[in-house]
Structure 1
Amino acid sequence: MPASVRVGVVVSVGLLLVLGPDQVRHHLLIALVWLSVGSIYALIVFWDPSIELRSNRSSSVVTCLDSVLSLAIIGLTGGGGSVAVSLLFLVIAAAAMRLSFVATMGLSLALGVAYLLIAVLVDTGQTPLEFRLQSGLWWPVYLVFSAALTGGFALLTERATQAHTAARAQAIAERAAADEERDLRARLMMSYEAQETGLRVILHEFRTPIASLKALADNLAEQADTSAEEDDSWTSVRLLAAHAGHLSSMMDALGDVAASRRPTFSTGRRRVVDVREFLYAAGDAAGLADSELRITVTPPGARCQLDPQLLRRVVTNLVENAGRHSRGTPVEVVARLGQGLLRVMVLDRGPGFPAELAPVVTERFVSVGERRGTAGLGLWIADQIAQSLDGRISFRPRSGGGMVVCLEMPVD
């Protein structure tokens, strides 16, 4: 756009020399030379407009050429009385688009001083000095005003463009991040579903034969002649039963792992249960006989509303773990219900573990004690389920030896 205006300025100067008053042709020969130089300059910039904006140096050079040529044609066509004085305002407007606000203001002051000198010194013999001096002081003031106005608008436009560009870049970056996050989430979900499918297949295909193997091995062990304990066949049957039990425990652990990988543990099936019956059911699920389990409930006949399916898994895990380490002594389960809180304490006389291990026993793949579980997952799964129900599990040594595991669970 500025390049086209520059060509129009050169054309207008040519028309001024042809159609203007006699005083504009006072230096006709030099004016024609200016017209030739200005035409070549205008055509070069029109052919490659990027010259004006390639660098700060090129912008400064173009601005200087515009200023010099404009001042020259003003001086050649009448000085302070020349109609070409309006070209200075075009120079200011063009400079404001490519120079800083401060540089534009400085240019307006320089052009004003130069125009004042031209208005005073250039005399065609027809303009009184008083008028030339008045013109030389009047127009520079408006040049400064024009520079402030156009420079301010250019500065505001530049800042608005920068803000728009920054907002657009941020929006593009956020969109790219959202797309990447969505793609990553999709890949993770596909991986998660594949793992879930594989785990379900393993549980489905192996649970039944392993359960059958365990039942057959236990039956053979019960039928074995205990009087022939030194016999190799009896030892093999007992070893087979132990391995079958270990495999069955592994399948139970895998089932718990599969459940723990769900987005939430809650089944939403809350109902009112009798606390004592609930604890006996958990003890049965843990494989402890009545002689191996002592249950105390306070107050007697306590009932509360909870999620029995999930909470039974927690209590069963804790009772089973206590029975594994109890060294043949009964496992004690003490339950207290009051003020919307169910507290279940599982006490054993096992070896326990150092107090400094209490914070880590509920982490994955951590096993402690003399008789370790199958994969170090039992207490971790129990703790995860308890947390999903807004409860917590804590550990402390038992007086006289053993361990106390305390489960605190909010109930209705």
Structure 2
Amino acid sequence: MNPAVLSLVETGLYVVGGLGLMGSSAAYLRKGSLRFSVALLLALGGLLMIVWRVLREAGVRQHHPLWVEIPELAFVLALAGGVFAWTSGLFAHQSRQLSQASERLRNSLATQELMLDVLSHDVRNHLTVARGHLQLHEHEEGQADHVTSAETALDQADELIDTTLLYSRLDGEDREAEAVDLVATARRVVDGLAAHRAHHGVDVDVEADVEAPETLSVRTSPLVDRALENLVDNAIKFSPSGGTVTVRLRDGDPVRVAVVDHGPGLPADRRGELFDRFSPARAEASGTGLGLAITRRIVAEADGQLGYEETPGGGATFTIALPASPTAGDASGDPGAA
């Protein structure tokens, strides 16, 4: 081939390639800071290719070493721009996939929450109707025991709804720590379980190892009362009639709350699964099987620890250890203050 034609073809290829790189840079220039870097590299590479080739064809000759290395420099710049373009495109694709997966997850969770709300609302309506029918028969001769049993079953169904909703929402809501007086909270929980205690024939004592006045304030999860209620309720269920459950509170770092019962306790080989959902390790009598799992999650949310040990002489002792909060401030036993 004629050398002049060959040179012209090479020059054309350089110009077309350089213009292509510069055109690509213009496309990337509109897509953010990383793409701006890509555009700059591509544009410099393309511009160097064109300038070097045009000057060379015009007969310009330079003896500086950089003159000879300009084509290699242009190639390196263009190659770097291409690598940046490929990796940024890959990252953008993965980011889109992650965003889509996250959106699907949010939609799925929203759908589940909606279904739970609808189901709980409808089921509660049916429970209300059932209670109304029971009230029509509660004074009929020979029906008192049957009505009581049915009402107990309805109460358990209501508890199941509340517990399931609480468990499903523990991870979906952000709760800020609040100032809580654990002594007042413990007494309020025990008072709230008065009917339950009377039904099982179990006494519950609250012992507070704190300085006078008897308050023990910490900044912790606003659901800590529910965690304590689960433990006391469970202890009552497993205590023999005439027995005593003790709630012991001890100041320190960490602050400790122990719920002590003298029931059957738990075999050593079953303790590892004690806090799992629906665990048979300590099947909660007439319960949902979620109480201890909920308690563990609430305590973990408060950066605390939930533990189990055998009560001396037999029984179970559950302990909640919470970080001490010297600056917790005053906390009253009123629910609105906790």
User: Larger deviation: 41-50 or 163-172?
Assistant: 41-50
Deviation at 1:385, TM superposition (A): 0.9
Q: Contact (CA 8 Å) 1:355, 1:396: kept in 2 or not?
A: no
Verify the 8 A CA contact 2:206 2:246 in the aligned structure 1.
yes
Is it true that 1:250 corresponds to 2:160 in the alignment? yes
Q: What is the TM-score when the length of structure 1 is the normalising length? A: 0.56
Q: Give unpaired runs (5+ residues) of structure 2.
A: 18-51, 54-60, 329-338
CA contact under 8 A between 2:209 and 2:250: conserved in structure 1? yes
**2:259–2:317 contact (8 Å) kept in structure 1:** yes
Out of 213, 216, 223, the residue aligned to residue 310 of structure 1 is 223
Which of 261, 270, 279 aligns to 2:179? It is 270
Matching residue's letter, 2:197: A
Structure 1 pair 362/206, CA: closer, same or farther in 2 (3 Å)? same
What is the match of residue 402 of structure 1? 315
Aligned match for 1:285, one of 173, 188, 192: 192
Residues 199-254 of structure 1: per-residue CA shift (max 9 Å, x gap): 22233333365367569869978x788xx7xxxx5664454244223312212212
The structure having more radius of gyration, on CA atoms, is 1
Correspondence for 1:72: none
Give the number of equivalent residue pairs.
277
Query: Could you say what secondary structure the match of 1:262 adopts?
Result: coil
In 1, the alpha carbon distance for the partners of 2:298 and 2:283 equals 25
**3-state DSSP of counterpart to 1:288:** helix
AA aligned opposite 1:188:
L
- Tell me the alpha carbon deviations over residues 334-367 of structure 1, each in whole angstroms, 9 at most, x when there is no partner: 3233235431111112222233433432222323
* TM-aligned CA distance change 1:328 to 1:155, over 3 Å: farther
Q: Distance in 1 between matches of 2:7 and 2:222?
A: 88
1:296 and 2:296 aligned: no
Q: Select the residue among 87, 92, 97 that pairs with 1:180.
A: 97
Measured in 2, the distance between the counterparts of 1:379 and 1:218 equals: 34
Larger fraction in helix: 1
Residues 1:168 and 2:85 are matched in the alignment = yes
Which residues in structure 2 correspond to 1:12-411 (within 5 Å)? 38=2, 42=6, 149=66, 152-207=69-124, 209-210=126-127, 213=130, 236-237=146-147, 239-264=149-174, 266-271=175-180, 273=181, 275=183, 277-286=184-193, 287-289=195-197, 291-299=202-210, 301-306=213-218, 309-339=222-252, 341-369=254-282, 371-372=284-285, 374-410=287-323, 411=325
Shift of 1:308: 7.8
Contact 1:367–1:375 under 8 Å retained in 2: no
Paired with 1:40 and 1:347, the residues of 2 have a C-alpha distance of 100
Task: Please report how far the alpha carbon of residue 400 of structure 1 lies from its aligned counterpart in structure 2 after TM superposition.
Answer: 1.8
Cα distance change on mapping 1:381 and 1:212 into 2, 3 Å: farther
Q: Cα RMSD (Å) of the superposition? A: 3.9
State how far apart, in whole Å, the 1-side matches of 2:176 and 2:3 are. 86
| Matched position secondary structure for 1:358 | helix
Give the Cα–Cα distance (whole angstroms) in 2 for the partners of residues 218 and 347 of structure 1: 38
Q: Name the SS for the 1:351 alignment partner.
A: coil
Distance in 2 (alpha carbons) for counterparts of 1:343 and 1:262: 27
| Separation of aligned partners in 2, 1:281 and 1:332 | 15
The gaps in structure 1 that reach 5 residues or longer are 1-36, 54-92, 95-142
Per the normalisation by structure 2, the TM-score is: 0.67
- Cα 1:255–1:402 change in 2 (3 A) is same
Paired with 2:3 and 2:304, the residues of 1 have a C-alpha distance of 88
Identity of aligned residues (%): 18
Deviation at 1:146, TM superposition (A): 6.4
In the superposition, relative to structure 1, how do residues 311 and 370 fare at CA in structure 2: closer, same or farther (>3 Å)? closer
Summarize the Cα distance change of 1:260–1:370 in structure 2 as closer, same or farther, 3 Å threshold. closer
Structure 2 SS opposite 1:406: strand
